[in-house]
C-alpha cells in the first residue's frame, strides 16, 4: 500500500488505516501481525518514517490511545514475548544522535489528574525464579569534552496547604528466603576524579522558609530476635601523600535577632546493657604518629565562649541533676563526690604560683613521709633567707662562757600566724650551745636566742641551727 508522490510543493499522499465505528458497541480493532515461521523466526514488523530531505525534520511517530468522556482511556502496551528456551526479547528506546545540536530528550511522564492522584511511574527489573532479579539502572550520559550528564530524582512539589511535598525513597530489596540471606544494600558513591578531586556527596534536608528545616536521621534498624544491630561508620579515606580528610560534626549557629535561640546541642550517647550486661564504652582517641618522630594528635575538650564561659561537667546521667565534678577555666571542683583519687604509679605533680590544700577536717598524708620542703643555707648572725626551712651557720665563733646570743632572721615566708620550729644542727667547739627562746614572730622576721651554758669554757667555733616555718 503506497500513497502517491508529488513533484510540487504540496505534501505527499497520506495513508490512513481506520477500523469501523461502533455506534452502540466497541469500534472495530486493527491488527497487524507478521508472518509465522513454523521452523525458524517469525517475520519482523517495521514502523518508521522516511529520512528527511535536505531541509526539514523526519516525520514523527505517534502511538496513543484515544480520549474518553466517561470510562478509562485505552492502555498502551509495549512488550516482547515470553521465551521458553532463551532470553526474553530486548526493548530499546533510543533517541537519534545530533551532529551539531543538543541530543534529543527522553521523557516518561505518568498521567495527570484534576480530581484524584496523578498516575505512578515505575521502572522495575525483571523477576527470576532461579537466578538474580534483573537490575534497573538510570545513568547520565557520558561526555568526552564537558561535564557528564546529571541524574536527578525529585519528589513532586505541592502548592496545597498543610500537606507535604512528595517523598523520595531508596530502599534495598528485602531477603525472605530462609537462613543466611542478606538484605540488599544501598550504595551512594561520588564519581572518581582521574586528575582532580573526586565528586562530593551532599545530603541536605529541606529548607523551611517560614519555620524549621527538616531533620536528617541516619540509623541502623533494630535487631531481630538474635544478632546485633548494624554499626554506623563515619570515616574519611586514607591518604598516600597529603592529609586525610577531616570529620566535622557540629550544630548550626543561632541567629542574633530578637527571637534568637540557643545553639543546637550535640549529644553522643552509648547504649546501655540489659540483664546485667555491660554498657557500651565510649572511646575518644587522637591519632598516633605511626612512623618517624612525629607527635601524636592532641585531644581537646573546649567549653563554649560567652559572657560567662562554659564548663565541663561529669554526671551520672545526661538528664540527672547530680554533677560529680566540674572543670572550668578556674576550677577543678568535685565537691559533690564523697571522695576523689588522683593516682599515679610514678610521680603525681601539682604545680602553680600558689597551691592550696584545704580539708574541712584535716589533710592526711597517709602512711607516707613528707620531704623536699623549700630549703636553703646561709652564714650570718642577722640576715635574710626567704625559705620555708634552712640551716644557719653563725658568724660568731667565740661566744663566751655563760653568754647568750640573739639573732634575727628576715624571711618573707613568715607571718604573725606562722609556726616556727628551731632545732640545733651542730654545736660550737669548746662550749655548750643550747636554744633558749623564740621571740614573737612578725610579718617577715623572727628572733632566736642561744646561750653557751658552759660557765667555764668559751666557744672556739661557730655553731649551726635549723628552722622550719609552717603557715
Q: What are 39-93's pLDDT values in tens digits?
A: 888 888 888 887 877 777 787 888 888 887 777 887 888 888 777 777 777 888 8
Average pLDDT over every residue of 30-44: 84
Q: Cell numbers at residue 110, please?
A: 505518568
Report which of 119, 122, 126 is spatially closest to residue 90, judged by C-alpha positions.
Answer: 126
pLDDT exceeds cutoff 90 at 421: yes
454 with 403: CB under 8 angstroms? no
Band the pLDDT of 228: cuts 50, 70, 90: confident
- How many whole angstroms separate alpha carbon 6 and alpha carbon 377? 129
Q: What are 285-321's pLDDT values in tens digits?
A: 888 876 667 788 888 888 888 878 888 877 766 566 6
Instruction: Say what the pLDDT of residue 252 is.
Output: 84
- How many whole angstroms separate alpha carbon 459 and alpha carbon 430? 5
For residue 161, give Cα distances in angstroms to 23, 164, 168, 237. 46, 9, 20, 45
Band the pLDDT of 120: cuts 50, 70, 90: confident
Instruction: Say what the pLDDT of residue 351 is.
Output: 86
Q: Other CB atoms closer than 10 Å to residue 431's CB: what's the count?
A: 25
- Range list of H helices, 318-463: none
- How many whole angstroms separate alpha carbon 231 and alpha carbon 248? 19
Instruction: Say what the pLDDT of residue 468 is.
Output: 95
Band the pLDDT of 408: cuts 50, 70, 90: very high
Query: What is the pTM assigned to this prediction?
Result: 0.60
pLDDT exceeds cutoff 80 at 183: no
- How many whole angstroms separate alpha carbon 367 and alpha carbon 349? 19
- What percent of the chain is modeled with pLDDT above 70? 95
pLDDT exceeds cutoff 80 at 424: yes
Instruction: Say what the pLDDT of residue 197 is.
Output: 85
458 with 398: CB under 8 angstroms? yes
Instruction: Say what the pLDDT of residue 320 is.
Output: 64
Average pLDDT over every residue of 410-432: 96
Q: For each of the domains in the chain, give its residue range(s) and CATH number, in order of start.
A: 375-470 (2.60.120)
- What percent of the chain is modeled with pLDDT above 90? 20
pLDDT exceeds cutoff 90 at 389: yes
Band the pLDDT of 180: cuts 50, 70, 90: low
HSE-CB for 372 with a 13 A CA cutoff: 1
Instruction: Say what the pLDDT of residue 82 is.
Output: 78
Q: Which residue has the higher pLDDT, 308 or 437?
A: 437
Amino acid at each position: 500500500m503506497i500513497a502517491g508522490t508529488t513533484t510540487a510543493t504540496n505534501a505527499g499522499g497520506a495513508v490512513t488505516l481506520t477500523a469501523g465505528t461502533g455506534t452502540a458497541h466497541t469500534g472495530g480493532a486493527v491488527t497487524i501481525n507478521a508472518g509465522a515461521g513454523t521452523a525458524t523466526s517469525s517475520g519482523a514488523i517495521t514502523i518508521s518514517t522516511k529520512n528527511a530531505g535536505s531541509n526539514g525534520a523526519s516525520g514523527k511517530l505517534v502511538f496513543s490511545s484515544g480520549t474518553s468522556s466517561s470510562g478509562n482511556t485505552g492502555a498502551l502496551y509495549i512488550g516482547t514475548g515470553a521465551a521458553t528456551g532463551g532470553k526474553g526479547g530486548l526493548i530499546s528506546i533510543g533517541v537519534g544522535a545530533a551532529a551539531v545540536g543538543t541530543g534529543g530528550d527522553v521523557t516518561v511522564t505518568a498521567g495527570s489528574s484534576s480530581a484524584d492522584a496523578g498516575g505512578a511511574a515505575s521502572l522495575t527489573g525483571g523477576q527470576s525464579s532461579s537466578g538474580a532479579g534483573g537490575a534497573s539502572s538510570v545513568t547520565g550520559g557520558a561526555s568526552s569534552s564537558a561535564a557528564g550528564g546529571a541524574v536527578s530524582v525529585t519528589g513532586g512539589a505541592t502548592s496545597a496547604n498543610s500537606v507535604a511535598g512528595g517523598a523520595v525513597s531508596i530502599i534495598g530489596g528485602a531477603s525472605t528466603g530462609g537462613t543466611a540471606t542478606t538484605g540488599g544494600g544501598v550504595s551512594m558513591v561520588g564519581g572518581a576524579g582521574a586528575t582532580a578531586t573526586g565528586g562530593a556527596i551532599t545530603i541536605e534536608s529541606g529548607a523551611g522558609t517560614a519555620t524549621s528545616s527538616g531533620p536528617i536521621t541516619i540509623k541502623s534498624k533494630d535487631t531481630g530476635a538474635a544478632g546485633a544491630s548494624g554499626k554506623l561508620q563515619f570515616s574519611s579515606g586514607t591518604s598516600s601523600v597529603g592529609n586525610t580528610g577531616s570529620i566535622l560534626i557540629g550544630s548550626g549557629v543561632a541567629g542574633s535577632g530578637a527571637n534568637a535561640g540557643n545553639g543546637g546541642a550535640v549529644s553522643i550517647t552509648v547504649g546501655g546493657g540489659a540483664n546485667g550486661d555491660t554498657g557500651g564504652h565510649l572511646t575518644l582517641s587522637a591519632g598516633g604518629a605511626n612512623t618517624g618522630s612525629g607527635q601524636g594528635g592532641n585531644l581537646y575538650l573546649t567549653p563554649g565562649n560567652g559572657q560567662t564561659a562554659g564548663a565541663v561537667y561529669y554526671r551520672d546521667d545526661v538528664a540527672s541533676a547530680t554533677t560529680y565534678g566540674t572543670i572550668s577555666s578556674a576550677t577543678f571542683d568535685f565537691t559533690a563526690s564523697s571522695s576523689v583519687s588522683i593516682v599515679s604509679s610514678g610521680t603525681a605533680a601539682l604545680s602553680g604560683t600558689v597551691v592550696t590544700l584545704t580539708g574541712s577536717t584535716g589533710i592526711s598524708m597517709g602512711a607516707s613521709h613528707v620531704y623536699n620542703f623549700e630549703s636553703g643555707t646561709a652564714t650570718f648572725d642577722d640576715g635574710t633567707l626567704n625559705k620555708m626551712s634552712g640551716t644557719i651557720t653563725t658568724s660568731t665563733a667565740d661566744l663566751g662562757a655563760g653568754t647568750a646570743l640573739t639573732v634575727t632572721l628576715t624571711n618573707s615566708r613568715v607571718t604573725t600566724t606562722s609556726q616556727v620550729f628551731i632545732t640545733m644542727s651542730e654545736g660550737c667547739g669548746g662550749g655548750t650551745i643550747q636554744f633558749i627562746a623564740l621571740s614573737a614572730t612578725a610579718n617577715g622576721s623572727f628572733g632566736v636566742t642561744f646561750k653557751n651554758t658552759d660557765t667555764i669554757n668559751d666557744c672556739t667555733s661557730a655553731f649551726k641551727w635549723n628552722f622550719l616555718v609552717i603557715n
